[in-house]
A and B are shown apart, each in its own frame.
Chain A
Amino acid sequence: MTPENHSRNHSRWLPFERPLQELEEQIAEIERFTASKGIDKSTEIDSLRQRHQRLSHQIFSHLSPWDQVLLARHPNRPYTLDYLRLVFDDFIELHGDRRFGDDPAVVAGLATLDGRPLAVAGHQKGRDVKERQYRNFGMARPEGYRKALRVMKLAEKLGRPVVTFIDTPAAESRLEAEERGISEAIARNMAEMSLLRVPVVALVIGEGGSGGAIALGVGDRVLMLEHAVYSVIPPEGCAVILDTFGRDPSRADEAAAALRLSAQDMLELGVAEEVLPEPVGGAHRDLAGMSAGIREALVRHLDDLSALPVEELLEARYRKFRRVGVFEEPAAG
């Protein structure tokens, strides 16, 4: 699906978007009426549009953690390839891990950002039923992570920065993934990314799902889109496992609140450095605007990072992750 038609396609509405849905349908109906009868209803339409705008602001600035999760998984939400087309001047996709195969749940390749050559790797979800299956719902297999690592190492070899796009419910955990060492692939990526001698910026664009996400997430900067989430476990899974939530999946909203998984939470917990504001209603409402915002942020961060001597860059990256953690140490004695 092209970015243009997917941004206009609001066929799927989230529960908290219902008042907006009603308004939009109302506007559409009046427009149809105007067109068929030739009667001017523009003042009515204008006032409805203003109400729509006010309501949007109100709704999207007061989302509950669970609403955030739903929005991060919105069926119309832009995916990695949607952004690649608009954020970068050029993109050549590379395929395969040279060990087993090519995983369509991860895209990786050579890109150019405002004239700067760099490498990109990111999870890729599918839009329709067929593509969703082809992309394995964005759940990467070991060969996906190994492909990403191969391209990141290529960037390092040629002194090009790395940008990653994170958007996955989780890493693939089925038997085939187990047989090919999904755990090792995730661990290896984190270890290798921590040592890459080039700037690394990681951007969470949708779902930052657990180990599958952090396997592409060890960057000098971690950026969150405003409505992206990042979590150690999906709230539904958390609610089912913990007696705290009565092992009841319908209490996922409570688990979502307890897990603190919003972009703002990431800033407060020292996991992310910046939250990139989204167009009102979410990135899918204005893909071009969101892409411009991403482009601006990537250029700014990469310029900052490129100014650092490499040893300083690596030490700062190590320290950034090193300091995440909260514990108590009673004074010895």
Chain B
Amino acid sequence: MAAQDTEQTRAKVDGVPDGLWVKCTHCSEMLYSRELARDLKVCRRCNFHFELSAQERIQVTVDPGSFQEHDAQMRSANPLGFPDYPEKLTRAQQGAGTADAMIWGECRIGGAACVIGASEGGFMRGSMGSVVGEKTVRAAEFALQRRLPVVMFCCSGGARMQEGIVSLMQMAKTSAAVARLHQAGLPYICVFTNPLTAGVLASFASLGDVLIAEPGALVGFAGPRVIEQNLKIKLPPGTHTSEFQIEHGMVDLVVPRREMLSTLTRVLRWAAAPNSSPAPITPGDQTIAAEL
């Protein structure tokens, strides 16, 4: 359940100055970085989707200028007094440039007002501790208050081990908040991006009304490397991917990044349009109900 170190599966796109060439981590094609940026960081040759930071993700998704971040300053404490944790947090903050592994706020997507959240994979593998848990719950509660749809971009190695049982409890806490969204009849859409495993996949991410995955993303409860190590077995190729998950009915759509915005816009338009269905059936209409 806890965050696994998936350094090897992580594509390195940080520290690329403008005007330089970037080698695709998947097919080794040399890509001109400005072009790569224009392509939303997708390789022209092999369609490999590089990871986006939370900021980049929001930038390519929301209507320009519409994003207002909430709780930007929220930081992790060290609830267990876990050794090395404060140092790791400081290093992660310097590396990722965010206070923790998620940002959220209000925005418009294709004109529709909504709440958006995005994991920061560059911050301790996007792992969920108290901050990610609290931010997810606040996003859901804000949406409840304003009756807004919620869109979550999820990538995470799982629960943050350094927060021990407190991080495990974030799974229950976020799932309970999402349950309230469902109860209130508010749309909740999740997008799975590379890599998404363990505690986040097994809590608020899997509870979306519509689940969309980016192509080629690692998606699975335990990463394949972990399973192979623990059980001393060799897995067939292609398991624990977006394509595997859609084949087994666990996600609704696999959508390439360049079509993500238009897909989200269409789904939001469908979900958030004023209700045009006939008035709810009253006791006098029971015959109709029976026919239905």
Contact = CB atoms under 8 A, between A and B. Distances in A.
A210 B199 CA distance: 9
B176 interface: yes
B23 to A, nearest CB: 28
Interface in B135-162: 137, 159, 161
Given A194-B175, A242-B161, A260-B80, A184 B206 contact: yes
Interface stretch (B14-22, B67-75, B270-278): B67-75
Contacts of B79: 269, 325-326
Interface residues of B, number: 65
A237 B158 CA distance: 14
Contacts of A187: 171, 175, 201-207
A260 B164 contact: yes
B255 interface: no
A232 B240 contact: no
A80 interface: no
Contacts of B183: 195
A71 B230 CA distance: 23
Nearest to B79: A326
A332 B173 contact: no
Interface string A229-249: 011110001100111100000
Interface in A271-325: 271, 317-318, 321-322, 324-325
A131 interface: no
B100 to A, nearest CB: 8
A237 B159 CA distance: 13
A128 interface: no
B167 interface: yes
A12 interface: no
B140 to A, nearest CB: 11
A186 B203 contact: yes
Contact of B168 (A183, A231, A242): A231
A195 B169 contact: no
A190 B172 contact: yes
Q: Pick the most buried of B161, B177, B204, B226: most chain A CB atoms within 10 A of its CB.
A: B161
A217 B175 CA distance: 12
B256 interface: no
Given A187-B206, A232-B161, A258-B83, A211 B168 contact: yes
A190 B176 contact: yes
B220 A178 contact: yes
Interface in B47-80: 71, 73-80
Q: Pick the most buried of B80, B130, B164, B198: most chain A CB atoms within 10 A of its CB.
A: B164
B232 interface: no
B216 to A, nearest CB: 17
Contacts of B202: 171, 182-184, 186-187, 211, 215
B187 to A, nearest CB: 16
A79 B235 CA distance: 32
A232 B179 contact: no
A269 B165 CA distance: 8
Interface of B: 1-2, 4-5, 71, 73-80, 82-84, 130-131, 133-134, 137, 159, 161, 163-173, 175-180, 182-183, 198-199, 201-207, 220-222, 226-227, 230-231, 235, 239-240, 244, 248-250
Given A178-B248, A327-B77, 15 more contacts: A171-B202, A175-B239, A178-B244, A182-B202, A186-B206, A211-B221, A213-B168, A238-B161, A259-B161, A260-B164, A324-B169, A324-B170, A324-B173, A327-B75, A329-B71
5 contacts: A178-B244, A180-B248, A210-B2, A244-B84, A330-B75
